[in-house]
Amino acid sequence: MKFSVTVTLKKDVLDPQGKAVQNTLINLGMSDLKSIRQGKFFQIELNEKDSKKAEARIDEMCKKLLANLIIEDYKIDKL
């Protein structure tokens, strides 16, 4: 069973990496760029056939390792 997890910084958390990318894109001539924020993306494959159990497992992974819940949000999608 395959899932994707997207981890993004919470709205009010500064994103220096995204800011650096934004400045570079503006220097490259993309004047219509309003904002860009960077996050992490994971493609996860599980040996678990029960879709509820699998999703609970992915949620556990996010909480234990993939996301820092103090500053980040995460979103799980089934692929």
What residues line the site for its own copies (CB under 8 A)? 6-8, 18, 21, 24-25, 28, 30, 32-48, 57, 60-61, 64-66
Distance CA 73, CA 46 (A): 22
- Whose Cβ is closer to its own copies: residue 49's or residue 70's? 49
Q: How far is the CB of 51 from its own copies (least distance, A)?
A: 13
CB 3 within 8 A of CB 79: yes
- Whose Cβ is closer to its own copies: residue 43's or residue 70's? 43
Distance CA 40, CA 22 (A): 17
Q: How far is the CB of 62 from its own copies (least distance, A)?
A: 11
Distance CA 22, CA 39 (A): 14
- Whose Cβ is closer to its own copies: residue 70's or residue 79's? 79
Q: How far is the CB of 7 from its own copies (least distance, A)?
A: 8
Q: Which residues are within 8 A (CB) of 52 and not within 5 positions of it... i.e. 6 or more apart?
A: none
